[in-house]
Structure 1
Amino acid sequence: MLRAGASGILPRHVTASDLLLAMEVVKRGFAIMPPIGNDSSQDLPRDDLLTARELEVLRLLAEGASNKLIARKLGISFHTAKFHVASIAAKLDATGRTDAVAQAVRLGLILL
């Protein structure tokens, strides 16, 4: 499909916010590819893994936001932002912020 001129491929079950993010990424000249794997469960939505607030924090993490910036953008305290980041890392079995974003991309929770 990419050879035919498509700018990316999205899984069937994509959230509206991820679709908007994907369109912005494509508009900037990047291609979108789904995670590669043999497990067909990767096509299932994984939004139940994280809360809605954690998904908001995760999207900001993917943009490189600090805890302070996350707190400011979401109208929460610095400590609450830090708690959400730690919770995301624990739920995704990640070793840190960058690994949490990488795990989220691999699981199809966010698109870059």
Structure 2
Amino acid sequence: MLPRHVTIADLLLAIDAAARGFAILPRHVPNPELPDGTLNRLSDNPNDVQRGYALTVRELEVLRLLAEGASNKVIARRLGISFHTAKFHVASIAAKLDATGRTDAVAQAVRLGLILL
């Protein structure tokens, strides 16, 4: 269920998520129970994408660049952010995906259907 005023970017993400079998729920649903019995708290942050691991839109952009083999320096340049911010995003992605490093994060993301190679 999406509101009428949804942005094109959010609509495309919702379509992609639904195609992968994820449920699209309104943000105001407190602690929804997912089909596998786990609970996932929806964020109030409009940049959050509920794809099982709550990666933000920016983290998904960084993840796609990681999959291309980009270094933190290249990620920073391509996204117009600082090197330290890029490094923070990579660490955040690895933590959310329970990965041991950037390569493992990409492998986990592929297994979860978050990115395609």
TM bucket, shorter chain = 0.5 to 0.7
Query: Given the superposition, is the C-alpha separation of residues 45 and 56 from structure 1 closer, same or farther in structure 2, using an over 3 Å criterion?
Result: farther
Matched residue type, 2:61: E
* % identical equivalent positions: 81
Is 1:83 matched up with 2:106?
no
Note the residue ranges of structure 2 that are not aligned, 5 or more in a row.
1-14, 25-48
What's the counterpart of residue 14 of structure 1?
16
- TM-score norm. by structure 2 comes to 0.59
- TM-score norm. by structure 1 comes to 0.61
For 1:36-47, list aligned pairs within 5 A: 43-44=21-22, 47=49
Query: Given the superposition, is the C-alpha separation of residues 45 and 93 from structure 1 closer, same or farther in structure 2, using an over 3 Å criterion?
Result: farther
Runs of 4+ in 1 over 2 A off after TM superposition: none
Specify the SS of the correspondent of 2:16: coil
Is 1:67 matched up with 2:72?
yes
How many residue pairs match? The answer is: 74
Specify which of 98, 103, 112 is matched with residue 103 of structure 2.
98
Specify which of 101, 109, 114 is matched with residue 109 of structure 1.
114
Matched residue type, 1:14: D
RMSD: 1.9
Q: Give the superposition deviation at 1:45.
A: 6.5
Specify the SS of the correspondent of 2:69: coil
